[in-house]
Structure 1
Amino acid sequence: MGYDLITSGYCALDRIISVDSFVEVGRTSIITNKNHNQIYYGGCNVNVSVNLARLGLNAAPIIRVGNDYITSGFKEYLEKNNVNTTAVKLLDKQITSATYLIESPDHEHITLFYPGAMDNSLQTPYKDEWFIDSKCALMTVASLNDNKEFLNKVKKHNLPLFLGMKMDSDAFPKSFLKECLDHVEVLFTNKSEAKCIAEIYDLEDYKELINVLPKVKTIVITLGEKGSCALYKKDNEIKYVEVPIINIEKVVDTVGSGDAFIAGYIYGYLNNKTIKESMEYGATLASFVIQGLGSTTNSPNKEELIERYLNHYKRR
């Protein structure tokens, strides 16, 4: 079969609730967005898959959905965006995972999540055919049983592993996280997550991780408004590179921007771009996503992505 990317993680029917003040016990916060009950389709692996499918790649998320898969519009959304749904499993008498994102005035988020069909107890074995001949694999936050099954299949079929774990201790308890890190080729993290991982290995500086993780080739660290940086190995040396963000005049919603960065990076990786170029593609894709409400609502097609990428990074 063979996909460009096979990926694990929770899917979710997202509802974004913007409030006029920080949520506090005993205080009423006013909802400011009229579309607070509108469903957006997301989840880290779904977001990455949609972004890559819009760019013409064959991306398949492994997800379980409930009997609202069709009525919610989720099935139509995936198909409309050319996402490969071979690894989507429908569970009767269950409902699809749901997320409520409470967004503060400064775009910080409180996340409420109902696992539904993606609950840990509902995990079933994955098919080898999903992994055979696939080019690479991305592991994101899912149930522990799903993550363990995914890692076993990645190891069995010797796929390059990308990891975006977001310091979720339920999905990645310490012992299992170390097992994942022993097999990861590209690690996506932010600075605080990198420091937490370094503490697991008793390292004072997270930059030392590049020498400790046995299979890692690249550690990509997102830095918010400061852009991103990466540590990588080349010619038996440790290299360092930084990439700035693309400044957007109006930020509508930051939900999904991290997933967009990962998708853009993987797009570069699969097209044999350099690490710096892949990071630039990540920043470019993220700049589109933050211009729309929802995780993939404003995702670009291939022509739009390349045009903005060239205008910003190659013609300065």
Structure 2
Amino acid sequence: MPRLGGEIFADDVSVCAGGIFTTTAWLKGLGANVTHIATLGTDPITALIESDIARHNVDLSLCTRTDGATPELTVALPVDGDRALVTYSNDQGAPLINSAVVANTEHLHVGGVKHLLNSDASLSSHSISLSIGTEDLALGLDGFKQLRGIVDIFFVNSDEGRALAGVDDLQQVQSVLSTVFPFVVLTDGDRGAYAIKDGATYRHPALTTQLVDATGAGDSFVAGFLLAYRQTASIEAALKLASACGAFAVTTVGATTKIPNRETLEKLLEANA
């Protein structure tokens, strides 16, 4: 990591769309019909990101524009399989999500609490899942209780879960979060992933793979889970495909650099059987 007054040099650099777009791109790459909702800027960095978005052939018809920088930009520094993030985030860029915008959708996945807090109450009739970021943790568990009756599936990693629940034991974390959300999906790095619904807990072990860059692993995991669960209504099948997506994503720099087909993911699962 760089220190004040010092300088380090990177082996490579990649500019790509990330964050919640990772979930969109993986869903599209795996055959789902998806539309991305976001606010995009007009600055040169946005132009670079949009050139990457274009290769995924994702529908951007519901996106809006704002002058200047895209409301959220992140520099990710991958080191030894993990990564450090530096993010610019402008709360003014949260797009308004309402029932009219998503009228023809079967499911809405939202990245970040602010997008739902800015939405209207009519969304409670839609199927909605939520994944969060570091800035969302400032709301605390009481803040998340505002989303009761709105969020159907809550995706969270173990660090985020511990911070929200205020406890270290992962079983206690699951119990606390389950008092707020009816369906919790919790990832725990190389220790696997859990899903908690209707009092039952499901687990899938992490897959063994070559770790290059962990950026976007959680977002690709979400894509696999949503796709399989929407297709099969099986939590076990959803955890299985999601784990394969997350494992494959860490093998390249940038989670949308290379998106596999289902056959490749099945082979990865077979290799870990």
Aligned residue in 1 for 2:191: 226
Give the match for residue 149 of structure 1. Answer: 118
| Residue 83 (structure 1) aligns with | 58
**By how many angstroms is 1:210 displaced?**
6.2
Aligned positions of 1:239-250 closer than 5 A: 239-248=200-209, 250=210
Q: Is the 8 A contact 1:256 1:289 kept in 2?
A: yes
Q: Indicate the residue corresponding to 1:275 in structure 2.
A: 235
Unmatched segments (≥5 aa) in structure 2 = none
Q: Helix, strand or coil for the counterpart of 1:75?
A: helix
Shift in CA distance, 151/223, structure 1 to aligned 2, threshold 3 Å = farther
Q: TM-score, normalised by structure 2?
A: 0.85
Aligned residues: 269
Quote the sequence identity (%). 19
Number of the residue aligned with 1:5: none
Displacement of 1:150: 3.7
1:31-180 correspondence to structure 2 within 5 Å:
31-33=9-11, 35-36=12-13, 38-43=14-19, 45-68=20-43, 72-91=47-66, 93-96=67-70, 97-104=72-79, 106-115=80-89, 119-123=90-94, 125-126=96-97, 128-141=99-112, 144=114, 146-150=115-119, 152=121, 154-155=123-124, 158-169=125-136, 172=139, 175-180=142-147
* Distance across 2 between alignment mates of 1:137 and 1:60: 10
8 Å Cα contact 2:140/2:164 also seen in 1: no
Partner in structure 2 of residue 255 of structure 1: 215
Cα contact 2:134–2:160 (8 A) shared by 1: yes
8 Å contact from structure 1 (residues 141, 171) kept in 2: no
More helix by share: 2
C-alpha distance after superposition, 1:189-233 (max 9, x if no partner):
223322333349xxx9223236523x51x2221111111122221
Cα displacement (A) at 1:52: 0.1
* Structural RMSD (CA): 2.8
Aligned partner of 1:61: which letter?
A: H
Task: Report the secondary structure of 1:95's partner residue.
Answer: coil
The 1-side partners of 2:83 and 2:148 are apart by 27
- Report the CA distance shift for 1:71/1:169 in structure 2 as closer, same or farther (over 3 A): closer
Secondary structure, in 3 states, of the residue corresponding to 2:35?
strand
CA contact (8 A) 1:288 1:298 kept: no
* Gap change, CA 1:211 and 1:111, over 3 Å in 2: closer
1:173 CA displacement: 5.7
Q: How does 1:190-201 map to 2 (within 5 A)?
A: 190-199=157-166
State the distance in 2 between where 1:127 and 1:211 align.
26
In 2, the alpha carbon distance for the partners of 1:85 and 1:190 equals 28
Residue 9 of structure 1 corresponds to none
Contact 1:255/1:290 (8 A) holds in 2:
yes
Return closer, same or farther for 1:242/1:102 CA change in 2, 3 Å cut-off.
same
SS at match of 1:297: coil
Deviations 1:222-252 (A, max 9, x none): 111111122221xxxx22222112211x222
Using the alignment, how far apart are the partners of 2:18 and 2:217 within structure 1?
Answer: 12
Q: 1:212 to 1:120 in 2, by over 3 A?
A: same
Q: Distance between the aligned counterparts of 2:215 and 2:148, measured in 1?
A: 26
Q: 1:206 to 1:126 in 2, by over 3 A?
A: closer
* Equivalent-residue separation in structure 2 for 1:127 and 1:207 (angstroms): 30
Gapped regions of structure 1 (runs ≥ 5): 1-21
Does the CA contact (< 8 Å) of 2:99 and 2:123 recur in 1? no
The whole-number CA distance in structure 1 between the counterparts of 2:126 and 2:62 is 17
> Structure 1's 262 and 25: CA in aligned 2 closer, same or farther, altered over 3 A?
same
Query: Do the aligned partners of residues 302 and 210 (structure 1) sit closer, same or farther apart at CA in structure 2, a change above 3 Å counting?
Result: same
Q: What is the CA deviation profile of residues 102-141 of structure 1, one whole-angstrom value per residue up to 9, with x for unaligned ones?
A: 333x3333321223xxx32345644644311312222222
